């Protein structure tokens, strides 16, 4: 049974990767022509900004599909999680402010750099922050915290992303990192699956503590030396590469 399930998932993964590639090619052409129209006649085509924004949203979805369906090398270099948190907080401010949500950062000034793929780790932080904003709806606090810890004698850097939102229903907690699982209207169910895949590719762990009506805390721990040989690819699987621990607080 497990072999059949693995074969089925592999086939679905190949289909997803092929479909994503077929979507990306014409999408790139459409985006290019619209950008030309917008540049040549800016006043007549102001509404094209909305079209470009939606095209970019589709592009992000395609990127997520490819990340989940097809192995990709992790480009590692020394990176500072503190700087990544600061950049992501600025990006999320535009989404948070209209909803009355405050973003707080509590950064460990002595946090060491790690070996990692800064672009993908930024995506982890962005996806977690965006999920938190959506969970709060109107008003609340989104908090990013970094600290240096030791786990079983191994030094790690830790990032906690917490919110004061509605929390995760108990029935959903074991499924939140499954690809395509979503409780949001119009959601793709890929955001947290991508988070899980990226963290796993860095040999990291994710813990989730949540209480309905009180909020959620997501804790990501990453080793300082990052991926190792044989583990330097974002895993291609339509199941998350690890089973994050989900607890009730």
Domain final residue pick, 54, 70, 86: 70
Question: How many domains does the chain fold into?
Answer: 2
Most confident of 82-86, 98-102, 206-210: 82-86
pLDDT of residue 49: 76
pLDDT of residue 32: 84
pLDDT of residue 114: 93
Compute CA 92 distance to the chain's CA centroid, rounded to the nearest angstrom: 13
DSSP state of 98: G
Domain final residue pick, 37, 70, 103: 70
Average pLDDT, the chain: 79
SS3 91: helix
Residue ranges making up the domain that contains 151: 77-248
pLDDT of residue 242: 45
CATH classification at residue 100? 3.30.565.10
What is the per-residue pLDDT across 142-151, written as a single tens digit (0 to 9) for each? 999 999 988 7
* Same domain, yes or no: 41 and 83: no
What is the per-residue pLDDT across 186-233, written as a single tens digit (0 to 9) for each? 566 677 888 888 898 898 999 999 888 889 999 999 998 877 654 444
Contacts 24+ apart (CB under 8 A), 8-15: 9/237, 9/238, 9/239, 12/238, 13/68, 13/69, 13/70, 13/236, 13/237, 13/238, 14/69
* Same domain, yes or no: 189 and 66: no
* Same domain, yes or no: 35 and 95: no
Better pLDDT: 62 or 237? 62
Read off the pLDDT band of 241 (50, 70, 90).
very low
* Same domain, yes or no: 168 and 45: no
CATH classification at residue 55? 1.10.287
Distance CA 80, CA 111 (A): 8
């Amino acid at each position: 049974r497990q072999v059949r399930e693995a074969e089925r998932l592999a086939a679905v993964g190949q289909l997803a990767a092929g479909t994503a590639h077929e979507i990306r090619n014409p999408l790139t052409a459409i985006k290019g022509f619209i950008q030309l129209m917008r540049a040549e006649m800016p006043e007549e085509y102001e509404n094209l900004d909305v079209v470009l924004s939606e095209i970019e949203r589709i592009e992000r979805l395609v990127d997520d599909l490819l990340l989940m369906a097809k192995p990709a090398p992790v480009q590692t270099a020394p990176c500072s999680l503190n700087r990544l948190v600061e950049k992501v907080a600025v990006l999320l401010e535009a989404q948070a402010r209209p909803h009355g949500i405050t973003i707080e950062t509590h950064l460990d000034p002595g946090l060491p750099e790690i070996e990692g793929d800064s672009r993908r780790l930024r995506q982890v932080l962005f996806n977690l922050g965006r999920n938190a904003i959506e969970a709060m709806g109107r008003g609340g606090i989104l908090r990013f915290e970094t600290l240096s810890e030791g786990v079983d004698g191994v030094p790690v850097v830790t990032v906690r992303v917490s919110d004061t939102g509605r929390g995760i229903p108990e029935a959903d907690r074991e499924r939140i990192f499954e690809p395509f699982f979503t409780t949001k209207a119009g959601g793709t169910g890929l955001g947290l699956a991508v988070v899980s895949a990226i963290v796993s590719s860095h040999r990291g762990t994710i813990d989730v503590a949540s209480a309905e009506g009180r909020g959620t805390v997501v804790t990501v721990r990453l080793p300082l030396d990052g991926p190792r040989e044989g583990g330097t690819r974002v895993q291609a699987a339509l199941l998350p590469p690890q089973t994050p621990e989900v607890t009730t607080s």
